[in-house]
Amino acid sequence: MSVQSVSVAEPVGTSPEGGSLMLIEQMYLGCLSQASYVVADEVSGRAVVVDPRRDIDEYLRFAEERHLRIETVVLTHVHADFVPGYSELAAATGAEVAMGEAAPVEFPIRRLSDGERMGLGDPASGVVVEVRATPGHTPESITLAVYEHGTDPTPAALLTGDTLFIGDVGRPDLLGASGRTAEEMAAELYRSIRSKILPLPDDVVVYPGHGAGSACGKALSSETSSTLGHQRSSNYALAEMTEAEFVDVVTRGLSEPPAYFSEDVALNRAGHAKFDPSEPLASVGAAEAVRLSEAGALLLDVRDDQAFAFGHLRTAVNVGLSGRFAEYAAAVHVPGQDVVLFGTAEQVSEARMRLARVGVDTVTAAVSDPSQLAAHPELVVRSSRLDASEAARRVTEVAGLQVLDVRNAGELSVGAVPGSVNIPLPRLRDRLRELDRSRPVLVYCAGGYRSLAASSLLASVGFADASDVLGGFGAWQAAQQDLAGTG
């Protein structure tokens, strides 16, 4: 887990009028490319948390260290890619939960109107958070403008949620759009950015809800903050263009969102129960884990690919903690399906928390002792992993071979294995019927992480012959170049 904290400005001290010490702390979660924020007036000690994740200890610890009272939890919109920890923070602190007034949710919230100002300190000179309705990514999306002093003419920073990213804007086609087309939402996004964000000065600091790797945009930067001036000059979506041109460029080339996004939207509209990571999981042995899997549970082995390939419980699916675990584990999970975890005690604990962040709360049991594999060799199988040369031989010699490319559509521009069919891993569970279970399958991705998840998923549902390519398409390309050089 990567958590990064930054401040938007140097403390300004206490002015003769009362003053404020403005604090904006960014907490960045690298494995989900997600940013949350604590905004506070350090003189009054009053604080707002924006778009928190479900493991809330970081916010509580920070508030205690800085002597802050978390009074409000603000959600910038109905999220599709993760489940925010508003219920957890509200239960721990008594904070009020707030969203834009158009939020289509079924749980109690304070509805924030466009232009509403939330003072955190002295009415004249304390920190003020102003709500700006910025529909486009979703109809209810808001941006929060943070003023160092209530009397300042312009804000010091913008917390833009999924409206404006560093290098991009929020995609307008996710399921928060309530029946509106991507083109209609993109037009709203154009008007929101032009009327509520771009008129501000260049030195306003921009803090987005996501960074590179998030599926909520298509060209996000690895930077987690910027200035409006820099974005004005470098962000393709902020260039001078007509509304029609903006709609075209923003809606063009969007990849299909992960299947679990729709499930998280539904959960985030309905509201969720508080997650308690201290609740014990049932501890089961290897035989019971396999029995539960054969009865319909997802047996999820969270060890690294080498350990899994060397030996794992039959019917297990591998999604290693080393990569973007939560989103790919959610992609192989069927909504409502019980989950049995396999790994060390530390791995199981981490996996459970990371699954909860994306709304998978159905982890019911775990095998927390990998030595169970040695004790039950009759339950253990190995993965078929092929180097690029052997994979190439099979492509040309094995009759009926199905070659499955599980990369995202945007990755195909660098090439593909001849004759392969593309089904991105986040969509594989919903498109299994497009493959013939009686024929062998060779799976590849960019580097090997997703391909093993895919081949193990295929094996778990009855594909008799599923292999993946070590090193992925990169290794395939290198092998082909070596062959061409010696031919």
Strands in 310-370 per DSSP E:
312-313, 317-318, 339-342, 363-367
Strands in 335-465 per DSSP E:
339-342, 363-367, 380-381, 384-386, 402-405, 421-422, 441-444
CA–CA separation, 334 vs 357, rounded Å?
16
Strands in 7-148 per DSSP E:
22-29, 34-41, 46-50, 69-74, 96-100, 110-112, 117-119, 128-133, 142-147
pLDDT at position 322 is 87
pLDDT at position 232 is 97
Question: Tens digits of per-residue pLDDT, 103-128?
Answer: 999 999 999 999 999 999 998 889 99
pLDDT at position 258 is 81
The model carries a pTM of 0.90
pLDDT at position 173 is 86
Phi-psi region of 384 (alpha: psi -120 to 50; beta: other; left: phi over 0): beta
CB atoms within 10 A of CB 377: 8
Question: Tens digits of per-residue pLDDT, 212-232?
Answer: 888 777 778 889 999 999 999
Domains detected in the chain: 22-270 (3.60.15.10), 282-381 (3.40.250.10), 384-486 (3.40.250.10)
pLDDT lower than 70: segments of the chain: 1-20, 175-178, 483-487
DSSP codes, 133-180: E-TTSSTT-EEEEEESSTT-SS-SEEEEETTEETTEE--S-SGGGTT-
